[in-house]
Amino acid sequence: GSVQKKGHSARILSPEEAEKLAKDQVLVSEFKQLKLEKEAQKNWDLFYKRNSTNFFKDRHWTTREFEELKASREFADQKLTILEAGCGVGNCLFPLLEEDLNIFAYACDFSPRAVEYVKKHALYSTERCKVFQCDLTKDDLLENIPADSVDVVMLIFVLSAIHPDKMHLVLKNIYKVLKPGKCVLFRDYGLYDHAMLRFKSGSKLGENFYVRQDGTRSYFFTE
């Protein structure tokens, strides 16, 4: 299929930034890396416990940034079925459902606590969305979504939180529920983003892969 790219290309590093990254080559120990992988769900659940629904701003830019959302309709009032994989507490989901009344959304997240926040949201309605807890790397999406039934899958700042060795498992999982020829909308952290340069020494897990102080992880993508 075709991949459309727009927006990000890696920013040019200043000499100081380049030197900082060049020096920061010591990786977190294998023991700690295995522990982080094992406790990934717990760390995200604790993140939502600390921040509840207040951390991320509502994303009102999805239809503006992703023209493919509307373009995926074959006629004006067609009902679209979407999957938001890694929905968090609904910062993208609810603005989208509010803006476009002809959408039914499946939504899932790694964190059981995040899923509960979505269910308690004032706009949550089982007629317009189905939300469930899911580890995209191992829980089969077909248990909650029919095969080949989704018009658009949204992966917004989700893949970066998954170990690079397991990212392909997420894509294989998504592929099973996506209608043939339909699209995945992907946005995530880019190489040399300021967020990458803010990591202190001792946070590096691998190439472009880092751990935050709270144990959640982030990968920074090249185009």
The confidence score (pLDDT) of residue 15 equals 93
Whose structure tokens read 């075709």? 2
Strands 209-211 and 217-219: antiparallel
Residue 27 CA to residue 209 CA, distance in Å, equals 10
Residues 151-197 have pLDDT tens digits of: 999 999 999 999 999 999 999 999 999 999 999 999 999 999 999 99
- Beta bridge pairs of residue 129: 105
Q: Could you tell me the CA-to-CA distances from 49 to 122, 130, 145 in Å, in that order?
A: 19, 22, 28
Q: Domain coordinates of the chain in residue numbers?
A: 16-70+78-219
Low-confidence ranges of the chain (pLDDT < 50): none
- Beta bridge pairs of residue 178: 150
Phi, psi of 68 (to 5 degrees): -60, -25
- 20 Cβ neighbours under 8 A, 6+ residues apart: 197
Residue 128 CA to residue 36 CA, distance in Å, equals 35
The confidence score (pLDDT) of residue 62 equals 76
- 33 Cβ neighbours under 8 A, 6+ residues apart: 27, 205
The confidence score (pLDDT) of residue 212 equals 94
The confidence score (pLDDT) of residue 72 equals 84
The confidence score (pLDDT) of residue 8 equals 58
Tell me the fold of 16-70+78-219.
Rossmann fold (3.40.50)
The confidence score (pLDDT) of residue 75 equals 85
